[in-house]
Amino acid sequence: MRTFLTAFVLLVCLNVSATQAAVVVQMREMAGDVVFSYAGSLDLSGVGNPGLSFSFGGITPSGGDLSFASPSGTETEIYSTAIATSSVFGSGGRTPGSVFQGDPFSVSSSAITMPRNYISGSPIVGSFSFQGQSFSSLGINSLAAPYVWTVNGSGDSITLTAVPEPSSLAACVLFPVWYAVRRKRR
- Digits of tens for pLDDT over the chain (186 positions)? 444 333 433 444 444 343 445 999 999 999 999 999 999 999 998 888 999 999 999 999 999 999 999 999 999 999 988 898 889 999 999 999 999 999 999 999 889 999 999 999 999 999 999 999 999 999 999 999 999 999 988 889 999 999 986 655 555 555 566 555 555 655
Could you give the 3-state DSSP secondary structure of residue 46?
Answer: coil
The beta strands (E) that lie in 15-167 are given as 23-30, 33-41, 51-55, 58-60, 65-68, 74-79, 83-85, 95-96, 99-102, 105-107, 112-115, 123-130, 147-151, 157-162
46, 79 contact by CB (below 8 A): no
Nearest to 30 by CA among 160, 147, 156, 164: 164
Check: CB of residue 125 under 8 Å from CB of residue 36: no
User: pTM for the complete prediction?
Assistant: 0.77
In the chain, what is the straight-line distance between the N-terminal and C-terminal CA atoms, in Å? 16
Give me the sign of the Cα torsion angle 39, 87, 89, 15: negative
- Residue 170's contacts (CB-CB under 8 Å, 6 or more residues apart) are none
